[in-house]
A = this chain, B = another copy of it.
Amino acid sequence: MEKQMHDTNLGRMISLLYRQFQMHINRELKALGINSSQYIYLANLYEKDGMNQEALSSALYIDKAATARALDKLETSGYIRREVDARDKRSKCVYLTEQALSVRPIIMEALMKWNQIIQEDLSVEEIMRTSETLSRMSNSVLSHASGGPIGEGDKQ
């Protein structure tokens, strides 16, 4: 299978792994009505609840329109609520609901399971080395002016 062949195109390999991840997360979280475009906001809010919507968008490298769509869906499903940001009346802050807190273990379990699957054939040293390399790749993107939402007219 072409898919399993060695491919020195790192961009393509990352894209493939991410699509496999999307299928995993869609399957694992289907019963919750949460998909691969939405889980990441909850995962981020579990670490820092009450973030400003635009700051959330920038921190995640997801454009504002896509962020708005995903948050609309999460709000309709009862996982988040939004309130006007006291520090900037033009924008909103995003808060987790009780329902979101109650499904946190399921989401964390799905993410942990994914990490176990992709790392199961790697040594600790390989995990460390790969993580360092991926980190360097991500920093190369940031070092280009056009690497993220910053510099594209965002407020941050």
Contacts and interface: CB of A to CB of B under 8 A. Distances in A.
Given A14-B17, A15-B21, A19-B60, A8 B138 contact: no
A56 B121 CA distance: 28
B138 A117 contact: no
Contacts of A111: 11-12
Q: Report the copy number of this chain in the oligomer.
A: 2
Interface stretch (A68-76, A88-96, A123-131): A123-131
Contacts of A12: 111
Contacts of A132: 6
16 contacts: A4-B142, A6-B131, A6-B132, A10-B118, A10-B127, A10-B131, A13-B138, A23-B148, A24-B141, A26-B63, A117-B140, A119-B137, A120-B140, A121-B140, A129-B133, A130-B134
Contacts of A46: none
B17 A146 contact: no
- What DSSP secondary structure best describes chain A's contact surface? helix
Contacts of A102: none
A97 interface: no
A112 to B, nearest CB: 9
